[in-house]
Amino acid sequence: MRDESSASEKNPDNIPDRTNGTDPLNPSASHPRAGKPPRTFKGEPLTGAKSLNEGASRDISHVLRGWDFESGTINVRKVAGLDGLPKLQMRLDLGLLQMELTGRPDGMRPHGCESLLDYFESLLADHEKRNGTDLGFHLTDEQCQSLRDEAVLYYHRYLSLFVLGEFFGVVQDTARNIRVLDICGKFAVNEQDQLILEQYRPYLFMMNTRAAASIQFKARQYPEALTTVRLGLRKIKKFFARFDQEEAYTQCNEVKVLKKFSRDIRRKLPVDPVRKLQVNLERAIKDERYEEAAILRDQLSVMVDQNNGDSSIRPV
């Protein structure tokens, strides 16, 4: 394999490093399958994948050589696979994770579908078509656990893509994991399965919003990026209101991250001269610089007249 691109991020304020700690989508375990036998399902690898020759060594030391693990750092890279397709790799303390860039990150196709989520969504669609309603459709404990395990795969991929700045993939994978929360929240038989993932909804909203706004930011679409961030904040606020925890909104780290990003975006917006005068006038009055305030008030009055007396613009 040859490296195509790589990136690392040291304690980013918007990406908690959960790759070696508690599973972000299965808080009852330190690893997706901790204390459980490996889960298997009928699936097939991506077309074109090559297996190792019988005599080939499976030691991955040569792959890790020169790529040391750094605690507290999210270190990822994109490489060319043996099948000619690009792969994502995330460095861990005892090795690495390798992921496909399209489809399910591990390359499997459970039940012939792109993912287990797609499979269960197709079952739901069939149920609604037969019955004219989603009533009677449900997900068992085991099915919800399988969906959570699968969501962790996508979590690692969108985290890697974010560090690499490939935001389109982040938008897709976070939106996809939000659908996991939605289907489990509505159709899980067990109440715990309905609620266990909800604590991560603000994080998913934040990552989805940050990635979508970053695409617009890079395209210099600053007003659109600001609108995207505001919509994301509105979703998080609605989430806390749903659980009667409105006071938690202001303390939420995801909210702080998005508000910081909105400030960065606003710095790129053209300065409104009227607003600038209003701010300077308010500061002058607050600091008791009354002579300066009088000058600023006159300037603001002139500018209001030049704007045809717009009723929305008034001297302070």
111 secondary structure, DSSP code: G
Average pLDDT (49-58) is 58
Classify 90 as helix, strand or coil.
strand
| 17-21, 80-84, 233-237, range with the lowest pLDDT | 17-21
Task: Check: CB of residue 167 under 8 Å from CB of residue 161.
Answer: yes
Alpha-carbon distances, residue 252 vs 90, 157, 182, 313 (angstroms): 28, 24, 21, 34
Give me the pLDDT at residue 190, please.
96
Task: Reply yes or no on whether the pLDDT at 18 is more than 50.
Answer: no
Is residue 148's pLDDT more than 90?
yes
- Residue 99's pLDDT is what? 96
Backbone angles phi, psi at 7, to 5 degrees: -160, 155
pLDDT at 98: 94
Distance CA 6, CA 8 (A): 7
Instruction: Quote the pLDDT of residue 303.
Output: 75
Instruction: Among 28-42, 152-166, 278-292, name the one with the lowest average pLDDT.
Output: 28-42
Helix (H) or strand (E) holding 74, with range, is strand 73-80
How are strands ordered across the β-sheet holding 95-100? 3-10, 73-80, 86-92, 95-100
Q: Decide if pLDDT at 219 tops 50.
A: yes
Q: Are 143 and 119 in contact (CB under 8 A)?
A: no
Q: How far apart are CA 213 and CA 228, in angstroms?
A: 6
The single residue listed with the structure tokens 């020169």 is 66
